């Protein structure tokens, strides 16, 4: 299976899914004009990845500076996929990385964390560079 890489734009995040090392990263800002159009290929790739997954551990790093409500819905869909995998016995570690100055993103991470009990969901504060 090929890795998935999507370069960041002003309104969409960098997506770097390394299927060889089982590290999936979403980083930047997420408020694309058409969220469904942007994320549909990502979700499709992720479903193929999950179907072919033979590893026991997957690390997911989410480091968003800002995201809109439609991106939040997509994140929930992505987290649901990983939560289901975790429920099947896979070790899924999701790191929600946030700037300590960004309370909105921190609070969103806390809310997501409450929704997914099977995932190892870590809130990871990051000091500004």
pLDDT in tens, the chain (129 residues): 899 999 999 999 999 999 999 999 999 999 999 999 999 999 999 999 999 888 889 999 999 999 999 999 999 999 999 999 999 999 999 999 999 999 999 999 999 999 998 899 999 999 765
As for how many domains the chain has, the answer is 1
pTM over 0.85: yes
Q: What are the DSSP E strand ranges found in 1-129? A: 4-6, 14-18, 23-30, 57-67, 91-99, 120-126
Q: Looking at the DSSP assignment, which residues form a beta bridge with residue 27?
A: 14, 63
Domain assignment of residue 75, given as a range: 4-126
| CATH number of the domain enclosing 117 | 3.30.750
């Amino acid at each position: 299976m090929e890795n998935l890489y999507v370069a960041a734009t002003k309104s969409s995040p960098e997506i770097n899914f390394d299927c060889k090392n089982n590290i999936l990263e979403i980083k930047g800002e997420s408020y694309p004009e058409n969220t469904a159009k942007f994320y549909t290929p990502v979700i499709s790739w992720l479903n193929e990845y999950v179907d072919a997954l033979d590893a026991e551990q997957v690390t997911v790093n989410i480091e968003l500076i800002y995201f809109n409500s439609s991106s939040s819905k997509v994140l929930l869909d992505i987290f649901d996929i990983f939560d289901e995998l975790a429920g099947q016995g896979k070790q899924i570690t999701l790191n929600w990385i946030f700037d300590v100055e960004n309370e909105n993103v921190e609070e969103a991470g806390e809310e997501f964390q409450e929704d997914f009990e099977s995932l190892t969901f870590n809130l990871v504060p990051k000091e500004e560079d």
